[in-house]
Amino acid sequence: RFDGLIERVAVSVDLVELHISDRIGTTIGHSDPSRVGERLVGSAVGVFESPHASRAFGDLLRGQAIYGASAPVMGGTRVLGVVGIRFRSDEISQRIGRILASAVGMGLVWLLIGAVVGSIYVRRITQPLTLLTTAAGAITRGELDGVHLDPPQTLDEVGVLQSSFLHLVVALRDERGKTERLLAELERMNVRLRDRVEEVTADLRATSGYLQSVIHCMEEGVITCDAEGDIVQANRGAAQQLRGFVRPDPGVAVAALLPDPEPLVEAVERAIAAGATTRLELERRAAPAADPEHEHVDGVALGGLRTVGFRVNPLHGADRTTLGALITVIDLTDARLVDAQLRRHDRLISLGTIAAGLAHELGNYMHTINGFSALLQASTADDDPRRPDVDAVHNENLRAVALLDRFLEFARPSAERFQAAHVGGLVREALDVCAWKLRQAEVEVDLRLDPDEGTVVCDSRSLLQVLVNLIFNAADAMAGREPRRLRLQTCQDGERVRIIVRDTGSGICAEHLDRIFDPFFTTKAAGGTGLGLSIAHQIVDRHGGRIQVRSEPQAGATFTVTLPAGGPTRDGQRNGDRGRHRGGGAA
Ligand code: ADP
Q: How confident is the model at residue 527 (pLDDT cuts 50, 70, 90)?
A: low
Q: Is 524 in the pocket of ligand 1 (CB under 6 A)?
A: yes
Express each pLDDT in 179-233 by its tens digit: 999 999 999 999 999 999 999 999 999 998 898 888 888 889 999 999 999 999 9
Query: How far is the centre of ligand 1, averaged over its atoms, from the C-alpha of 456 (Å)?
Result: 26
Query: How far is the centre of ligand 1, averaged over its atoms, from the C-alpha of 519 (Å)?
Result: 11
Q: How confident is the model at residue 289 (pLDDT cuts 50, 70, 90)?
A: low
Q: Is 522 in the pocket of ligand 1 (CB under 6 A)?
A: yes
pLDDT at 44: 43
Q: Is 565 in the pocket of ligand 1 (CB under 6 A)?
A: no
Express each pLDDT in 424-440 by its tens digit: 999 999 998 888 889 98
pLDDT at 417: 84
Q: Is 403 in the pocket of ligand 1 (CB under 6 A)?
A: no
Q: How confident is the model at residue 532 (pLDDT cuts 50, 70, 90)?
A: confident
pLDDT at 302: 46
Name the pairing type of β-strands 485-493 and 444-448. parallel
Predicted structure pTM score: 0.44
Taking the CB of residue 224, how many other CB atoms lie within 10 A of it? 18
Question: In this structure, are residues 334 and 301 in contact, taking their beta carbons and an 8 Å threshold?
Answer: yes
pLDDT at 62: 65
Express each pLDDT in 309-345 by its tens digit: 999 999 988 888 889 999 999 999 888 877 777 777 7
pLDDT at 297: 44
Choice from 484, 516, 558, 561 to test ligand 1 binding pocket (greatest atom count within 8 A of CB): 516
Angle at 232 between CA 227 and CA 237, to 5 degrees: 125
Query: How far is the centre of ligand 1, averaged over its atoms, from the C-alpha of 534 (Å)?
Result: 10
Q: Is 474 in the pocket of ligand 1 (CB under 6 A)?
A: yes
Choice from 473, 512, 560 to test ligand 1 binding pocket (greatest atom count within 8 A of CB): 473
Q: Is 516 in the pocket of ligand 1 (CB under 6 A)?
A: yes
Question: In this structure, are residues 478 and 503 in contact, taking their beta carbons and an 8 Å threshold?
Answer: yes
Query: How far is the centre of ligand 1, averaged over its atoms, from the C-alpha of 459 (Å)?
Result: 23
Q: CA-CA distance, 370 to 271, in Å (whole number)?
A: 72
Q: CA-CA distance, 199 to 205, in Å (whole number)?
A: 10
Q: CA-CA distance, 174 to 299, in Å (whole number)?
A: 80
Whether the predicted pLDDT of 133 surpasses 60: yes
Q: Quick one: which of 517, 508, 515 has its CA closest to 536?
A: 517
Chain-wide mean pLDDT for the chain? Answer: 83
Q: Is 560 in the pocket of ligand 1 (CB under 6 A)?
A: no
Q: How confident is the model at residue 354 (pLDDT cuts 50, 70, 90)?
A: confident
Q: Is 515 in the pocket of ligand 1 (CB under 6 A)?
A: no
Determine the average pLDDT of the residues in 358-376: 82
Whether the predicted pLDDT of 271 surpasses 70: yes
Query: How far is the centre of ligand 1, averaged over its atoms, from the C-alpha of 509 (Å)?
Result: 12
pLDDT at 252: 94
Percent of the chain whose pLDDT exceeds 90: 36
pLDDT at 173: 86
Q: CA-CA distance, 403 to 125, in Å (whole number)?
A: 138
| Exposure of 150 in the CB half-sphere (CA atoms within 13 A) | 8
Q: CA-CA distance, 341 to 551, in Å (whole number)?
A: 16
Atom of ligand 1 at shortest distance to CA of 519? 6
Phi/psi zone of residue 367: left (φ > 0), alpha (ψ -120 to 50 degrees), beta?
alpha
Whether the predicted pLDDT of 529 surpasses 80: no
- The torsion angles phi and psi of 53, rounded to 5 degrees, stand at -75, 140
Q: CA-CA distance, 135 to 27, in Å (whole number)?
A: 80
Q: Is 309 in the pocket of ligand 1 (CB under 6 A)?
A: no
Choice from 407, 469, 522, 537 to test ligand 1 binding pocket (greatest atom count within 8 A of CB): 522
- The torsion angles phi and psi of 274, rounded to 5 degrees, stand at -120, 0
7-16, 262-271, 339-348, 534-543: which is most confident: 262-271
What H or E segment, with its residue span, contains residue 343?
Answer: helix 333-379
- Whole-number Cα distances in Å, 396 to 334, 366, 529: 43, 11, 15
Q: How confident is the model at residue 42 (pLDDT cuts 50, 70, 90)?
A: low
Q: CA-CA distance, 539 to 410, in Å (whole number)?
A: 9
Q: Is 523 in the pocket of ligand 1 (CB under 6 A)?
A: yes
Report the SS3 class of residue 26: strand
Residues 421-434 as b/e (b if ≥16 CB within 10 A, e otherwise) read: bbbbebbebbbeeb
Angle at 470 between CA 464 and CA 473, to 5 degrees: 135
CA dihedral defined by 513, 519, 521, 522, rounded to 10 degrees?
A: 110
Percent of the chain whose pLDDT exceeds 70: 87
Question: DSSP alpha helices (H): ranges in 125-257?
Answer: 127-140, 157-217, 236-241
CA dihedral defined by 11, 13, 16, 17, rounded to 10 degrees?
A: -70
pLDDT at 130: 84
Nearest CA to ligand 1 atom 23: 474
Query: How far is the centre of ligand 1, averaged over its atoms, from the C-alpha of 398 (Å)?
Result: 24
Express each pLDDT in 50-88 by its tens digit: 444 445 566 666 666 777 778 888 888 888 888 888 888
Q: Compute CA 436 distance to the chain's CA centroid, rounded to the nearest angstrom.
A: 66
Whether the predicted pLDDT of 567 surpasses 90: no
pLDDT at 221: 94
Q: Is 506 in the pocket of ligand 1 (CB under 6 A)?
A: yes
Choice from 533, 548, 551, 561 to test ligand 1 binding pocket (greatest atom count within 8 A of CB): 533
Q: Quick one: which of 268, 261, 224, 263 has its CA closest to 246?
A: 261
Q: How confident is the model at residue 269 (pLDDT cuts 50, 70, 90)?
A: very high
Q: CA-CA distance, 46 to 73, in Å (whole number)?
A: 12
